[in-house]
Amino acid sequence: MLNFFKTKKTPLTEIFPDNFIDIHSHLLPGIDDGAKNMSDSIMLIKRMQKFGIKNFICTPHIMEGLWENSTEDILNKLAELKQELAQHNITDITINAAAEYMLDTAFNNLLKKGNLLTLKDSYILVEMSYLGPPINIYETLFSIQVAGYIPVLAHPERYLYLHQNYSEYQKLKDAGCLFQLNLLSLSNYYGKSVQQTALKLLKDSFINFVGTDTHNNAHLSYLENINNPKIIKLIQPILKNNELFIS
């Protein structure tokens, strides 16, 4: 017999708190592998508005040999986007910019100069290669903190080499690294292994913050499909943690 009284599943995109801020996104136009142009940026922001997301920190990649964006480049793009948003009468959002720093040789040079774009105060968003961690990862994390910054590791659940060596997550936490989960990882977008690791990290209370890591429209469609009640229950308290970054 069919059950006509099944409980409606509430999707992730309907539970963002009023003060939620997306601390990881690629919405600046034409600066990395995210929004291709200004129209793309506006379209993505409008759709995210419908999810109830009204606060954004754009975090374009800074990566040696691929996306060698400077602080000036990023802030100029942010100014252009803000101007375009005003022309579209999109005035009920806040949008700022930081960066997603690859922990490579170029980053070490930037760290020495001390000219880093932070999420807020001393928090910086960093990432590692998907092929393997830097040989000197713990020395780098130490140097970051000595320089006065707090490292927030982007999408720790996506580094497949850590899945078979789960104890490394605890070592990273013990080394002063905070963890930012990609909300997309709660779907099967990156694959089952990433999803399972994301859920384990949540259950083990390793996750500090979240981000959409939005690059394109397909990413937002996957977010709309996250509606498993058990997953929603796990992620809901963490969404509130992002309020730390509201200016």
pLDDT along the chain (247 residues), means of 10: 64 96 98 98 98 98 96 97 97 97 95 94 97 94 98 98 96 98 97 98 98 98 96 97 96
Query: CA–CA separation, 23 vs 16, rounded Å?
Result: 13
Query: CA–CA separation, 47 vs 217, rounded Å?
Result: 9
Q: Which amino acid is at 207?
A: I
Query: CA–CA separation, 73 vs 34, rounded Å?
Result: 15
Which sign, positive or negative, has the C-alpha torsion 87, 92, 97, 103? negative
The domain ranges of the chain are: 17-240
Which sign, positive or negative, has the C-alpha torsion 238, 240, 241, 246? positive
Cβ–Cβ under 8 Å, residues 142 and 174 = no
DSSP per-residue codes, 101-163: EE-SHHHHHHHHHT-PPPSBTTEEEEE--SS---TTHHHHHHHHHHTT-EEEEE-GGG-HHHH
Output the six-digit token pair for 3: 């059950």
Distance of CA 226 to the CA centre of its chain: 17
Residue in the block written with tokens 């930081």: 98
pLDDT recorded at residue 8: 74
The model's pTM is: 0.95
Architecture of the 17-240 domain: Alpha-Beta Barrel (3.20)
pLDDT recorded at residue 1: 46
Cβ–Cβ under 8 Å, residues 12 and 48 = no
- Residue 14 backbone class (left: φ over 0; alpha: ψ -120 to 50; beta: rest): alpha
